[in-house]
Amino acid sequence: MSLSRANQLEIYYWMRLTRTLDERMLALWKQGRGLGGTFSQRGHEAISVGAGFALQPDDVVAPMHRDLGCYLLRGLTPRRIFASLLGKATGVTGGRDANLHGMGDLSLNLIGFISHLPHSLPVALGAAMSFVYRDEPRVALTFTGDGASSTGPFHETLNLAAVYNAPLVIVIENNQYAYSTPLAEQMKVFDIARRADGYGIPGVIVDGNEVEAVYEVVQAAVERARSGGGPTLVEAKTMRMLGHAIHDGAEYVPRELLAEWEARDPLRLYEAKLLAEQVCDQSELDEIGQRCAVEIEDAIEYAEASPMPQPDTVTEGVYAA
């Protein structure tokens, strides 16, 4: 499906909202106003937004820790996200973790991120198989990292999904590092999409900094899955532009490598494309930026004014003790 002008501006809005949220989230933490684990999204906006945009509302998505763009476009509001990050009662988990782990909402067909990597994969496969059993034309999509793609559950999920012909799309966010470990130190293949060959399913590589390219590849994989074609492994190549989480200065990443990728910043690339193709002019981009800034400031005010959870609610949602 080709993108309309309205679609393109919407994609830009989600990317810009993600970037604004990210920058303010990091600033809050540095000012001592944040609480828990804080994972930067910088560099991943084209993947989380481009892939998420390829889904229908009925499809299920299981994102990971650099996919806030996908959470946003699925309908998790900045207010709920900041309330979660600040550990407030109005957050998604009612203030239980002050983190983006577990920030799911099944009413939005959004499975919360499972911290154990890559355990969102078998769960997304379970969702995909439920669609098969119920004969529903729905698809499950999940994300994983380059590091997580070297673990057992990744391979088991691919194998089972292939054998079951599951309507599942797995997007690898190959950002060159798993914590402090560069790709070359944890695998001997440099195109992780090749891992699909071992399971008899398609493996597709896409430039993870080009949002429309990500959208097109994922959209084709989603429609293939929906029409009974089975799973696809998509490898989106990008770069983690900051440390693993905010405590990590990433001194181990060569500065030249970061400079190379900074020149291909996904948000700037999309702005340049929209302007070059005369989809809009600079004032429209600025207006969207202004809207995002207002929305994010409102969310921070809301989250900071929200109460902490009541101690007597601590056992709510605990299923085993």
Residue with Cβ nearer Mg ion (42 or 79): 42
Phi, psi dihedral angles at 104 (to 5 degrees):
-110, 165
In whole angstroms, how far apart are CA 11 and each of 187, 302, 308? 33, 25, 34
At closest approach, how far in Å is the CB of 243 from ligand TPP? Answer: 10
**Residue 179 binding partner per list ligand TPP, Mg ion, none, with a CB distance cut-off of 5 to 8 Å that depends on partner kind:** ligand TPP
Q: Which does 38 bind (CB under 5 to 8 A by kind): Mg ion, ligand TPP, none?
A: none
Nearest distance in Å: CB 130, ligand TPP: 25
- Binding residues (CB under 6 A) for ligand TPP: these are 66, 115-117, 145-148, 173, 175, 177-179, 240, 244
Pick 54 or 114: Cβ nearer ligand TPP: 114
In this complex, which beta carbon is closest to ligand TPP, that of residue 88 or of residue 240? 240
Cβ distance to ligand TPP smaller for residue 179 or 252: 179
* Of 173 and 271, CB closest to ligand TPP: 173
Minimum CB separation from ligand TPP for residue 193, in Å?
15
Whichever of 218 and 220 has its CB closer to ligand TPP, that residue is 218
Contact 172, 135 (CB under 8 A): no
DSSP state of 148: G
Shortest Cβ distance from residue 114 to ligand TPP (Å)? 9
Which one of Mg ion, ligand TPP, none interacts with residue 195, CB within 5 to 8 A by kind? none
Sort 239 into a burial class: Cβ within 10 Å, 0-12 / 13-18 / 19+: buried
β-bridge pairing 232-237 and 168-174: parallel
What's at 87, amino acid-wise? G
User: What is the spatial distance between Cα 95 and Cα 306, in angstroms, rounded to a whole number?
Assistant: 10
- C-beta of 177: minimal distance to ligand TPP in Å? 6
The residue of the chain with the least Cβ separation from ligand TPP equals: 145
What is the nearest approach in angstroms of Mg ion to the Cβ of residue 209?
A: 15
Q: Cα(306)–Cα(90) distance, rounded to whole angstroms?
A: 7
| Residue 130 Ramachandran class (φ > 0 left, ψ -120 to 50 alpha, else beta) | alpha
Q: Which does 116 bind (CB under 5 to 8 A by kind): Mg ion, ligand TPP, none?
A: ligand TPP
CA 265/CA 277 separation, integer angstroms: 18
The residues, ordered by sequence, that sit 6+ positions from 7 with a Cβ below 8 Å of its Cβ are 53
193, interface contact from Mg ion, ligand TPP, none, CB < 5-8 Å by kind: none
269, burial (CB in 10 Å: exposed 0-12, middle 13-18, buried 19+):
middle
Residues lying near Mg ion in the complex (CB under 5 A) are found at 145-147, 175, 178
